[in-house]
Amino acid sequence: MGDEAITFTRYGPLPWKEILFNYPDPNQHTLFSLMSNFGLSLWGDSELVFRWPSLLAGVLAVPLTYKVGTMLCKSHFAALTAALFLAGSAPHINYSQLGRGYALTVFLCLAVTGLVCALIQKGIDLKNSFVAGIFLVICGVALALTLPSNVFFILAVFISGLVKIFFSGNRDGSSFLKRVTPLLFSFFIMFILIAFYFFSIKEGLNNGIANYSQSTLNLKGFLKIWEFLFDPWGAWLFLLFVLGSVRLKENENFLFIFALLVVPLALTVISGIVGFPRVYIYLLPFLLLVAGMGLEYLFDQLHGQKPLLANSLVGVAFLMVAIQFYQWAALHYPGRTKVPNGTLNEAKLVKDYINSEIPFDCLLVFMVYDPGGNTLIYYLSDQIKYRMKLFLAGKEIKKILFISHASVPPDKYPSINVIDGKTVKIPPSYLLKVKEFGNLHLYEFNGSLSRWIPEKGRQDQERVFSGVSGSTYQAEQIKNPKLFGSYSLHLKNNKGKEVLLQSPISRPIEIEWGPAFILHFFAKTLGQTLFIFSDSLEKRFEYPMALLNPYLGLLEIENSEQKWEMVFSLTQLNSGQYRVGEIL
């Protein structure tokens, strides 16, 4: 659901070249999509296969935290504590189970940091440092491919490495330049590759910064980041982090770790490019490592005088970790599983049934949670769009079928309403359940269908409204651009203000019982054009109106820059007598 479903539906069908060299918006996590799509091509569509990069990275990040922790703080206790904290971290567990790039970010940040440490320890022995340098370049580029914002961390670990080498002293008699050469060479190659990648997607990067960057990072923003990263433990783990910062000053890698934590935030403030708190998940293992050092510091202070109290403190700390994790999980997982959405397997069953059993004179309508990011779109969007085009071209609609989740049938679905405060509600008695596919159900509208205007008296809209004009607008028939038929209706609006055009054709309607519905559809170029139904312009009463398949209406025509939008709507009329006409 949500961004994860967008990752599957929007980038799942794309070839690797388009994913790699096209960056439409920050919802694209390039490395994850490349790895996930590779798995889907080998093993088929399933939730586990789709999420395998996140799951693998999330699991491997735990032992890697311990390994890198021992390299940085020279303490098995602090490193093991940080690894256990990460294993119970709410954001880490959550993103290890989602089809996004954040778990990959945590793993690759640890890998890059460990490789920099290894490269520094290898010193000027080029033979031994060659392999570490190659893997450093690969992991650094992969980190930038995962999320472009990770480049702030790459710069931070580069600065940390330089600081470490500079302050480590001249222990073997070699010059600073000679000792820093392997690091400089590796990052030089890495930065060239990242710069080439960023240049190839620069338009998408600029759009992402303009549209998704948050406000300036202030104190409130910092607190949101810490709250996110220390979830579910909160303030007491932050206190351990503060104690760990005191202990960190005694560590030989103090400046290295300090730069890792401070430089990305400083670059964020300086650049003004501020992301959501989840963007800073690369800080998570290092914050937990400092917190682990804080627990070790507290233990050491007490152990000399009161060993029992020190041991009890460690036990209580890990008990609190377990309890708070359980409390978080008890709320998180039920909420996750109760979302009114279907599985990939259920969506495939719906697709197969529609392809084999449902004729093309049936209009299909999505009524599912988050229609813009639902897996059904991946399987059925082309089929539904094709049917919508057929009906616009003149094919008769014989049936209307609704696809919805079992817990939110069409009569309970919160439709996208056109008129504020006026909601379209389809009574349950108007719906006939046709088929169940697990949690996804198919319903048929079981009322009778008839034309708004009988076939004999019908006229195309471009003829009905052609020639209508006013002081600021004029409507006329034109041959191009058009989507269907011989003509389209072109409306010139000189001042850009709202213009209302009333159709000369109206129809008397008498509804004896229950609501009746008007299904209306047309195609238009992108803009604010819309049809509504009302008594007249003078006494305009707007009836409840909802959009159908609003996320599937966009059409791009081959060999044309003109984009069209198909608009399908449902207007509700309750029992009574009406004379209703169209208003454009």
Q: Is 378 in contact with 406 (CB distance < 8 Å)? A: no
Structure-token pair, residue 151: 């480049």
Helix H or strand E encompassing 319: helix 307-337
**CA angle at 409 for the pair 408 and 415, rounded to the nearest 5°:** 80
- Which whole number is the average pLDDT over 448-459? 68
Residue 216 has pLDDT above 80, yes or no: no
pLDDT in tens, 373-409: 677 778 888 888 899 999 988 889 999 999 988 888 8
Per-residue DSSP letter, 408: B
Q: Is 310 in contact with 303 (CB distance < 8 Å)? A: yes
Cα of 574 vs its chain's centroid, Å: 39
Helix H or strand E encompassing 565: strand 563-573
The widest CA-to-CA distance across the chain, in whole angstroms, is 100
Which among 284, 295, 278 has a CA at the least distance from the CA of 244?
295
Cα of 226 vs its chain's centroid, Å: 22
Rounded CA-CA distance 333/515 in Å is 40
Rounded CA-CA distance 182/122 in Å is 9
Cα of 538 vs its chain's centroid, Å: 45
pLDDT of residue 2: 63
Residue 35 has pLDDT above 90, yes or no: yes
Structure-token pair, residue 315: 């036990």
Lowest mean pLDDT among 289-293, 526-530, 560-564: 526-530
Which among 244, 277, 241 has a CA at the least distance from the CA of 90?
277
Helices (H), 89-230: 90-96, 102-122, 126-146, 151-167, 176-200, 202-212, 219-229
State pTM to two decimals. Answer: 0.84
- Encoded amino acid at 509, one letter: I
Q: Is 502 in contact with 473 (CB distance < 8 Å)? A: no
- Which whole number is the average pLDDT over 294-311? 80
Per-residue DSSP letter, 217: -
pLDDT of residue 111: 96
- Which whole number is the average pLDDT over 43-61? 93
Rounded CA-CA distance 553/387 in Å is 11
Measured in degrees and rounded to the nearest 5, phi and psi for residue 583 equal: -125, 125
Dihedral sign from CA coordinates of 527, 532, 538, 544: negative
Structure-model confidence comparison of residues 288 and 251, the more confident one: 288
List, as one string, the DSSP characters of 417-483. Answer: ESSTT------GGGEEEEEEETTEEEEEE-S----SS-GGG---HHHHHTT-B-SSEEEEEESSS-S
pLDDT of residue 104: 97
491-513 CB burial, b ≥16 within 10 A, e <16: bebeeeeebebbbeebeeeeeee
Residue 305 has pLDDT above 80, yes or no: no
Residue 139 has pLDDT above 90, yes or no: yes
Q: Is 344 in contact with 375 (CB distance < 8 Å)? A: yes
- Sort strands 563-573 and 545-548 into parallel, antiparallel or unpaired: antiparallel
Q: What is the dihedral angle through the alpha carbons of 30, 223, 85, 282, rounded to the nearest 10 degrees? A: 30
Residue 123 has pLDDT above 60, yes or no: no
Q: What is the dihedral angle through the alpha carbons of 485, 487, 492, 498, rounded to the nearest 10 degrees? A: -30
Rounded CA-CA distance 9/378 in Å is 5
Q: Is 374 in contact with 368 (CB distance < 8 Å)? A: yes
Specify which of 29-33, 131-135, 466-470 reaches the highest per-range mean pLDDT.
29-33
Residue 91 has pLDDT above 60, yes or no: yes
Rounded CA-CA distance 187/139 in Å is 11
Confidence category of residue 555, pLDDT binned at 50, 70, 90: confident
Beta-carbon contacts of residue 409 (< 8 Å; ≥ 6 apart): 367, 428, 431, 441, 443
Confidence category of residue 337, pLDDT binned at 50, 70, 90: low
Helix H or strand E encompassing 362: strand 362-367
Rounded CA-CA distance 491/475 in Å is 4
- Which whole number is the average pLDDT over 428-437? 92
- Encoded amino acid at 79, one letter: A
Structure-model confidence comparison of residues 504 and 315, the more confident one: 315
Confidence category of residue 233, pLDDT binned at 50, 70, 90: confident
pLDDT of residue 61: 97
Beta-carbon contacts of residue 534 (< 8 Å; ≥ 6 apart): 540, 541, 542, 543, 580, 581, 583
Measured in degrees and rounded to the nearest 5, phi and psi for residue 409 equal: -65, 170
Rounded CA-CA distance 356/352 in Å is 6
Q: Is 545 in contact with 508 (CB distance < 8 Å)? A: no
pLDDT of residue 125: 58
Task: HSE, CB side, 13 Å, CA atoms: give it for residue 270.
Answer: 7
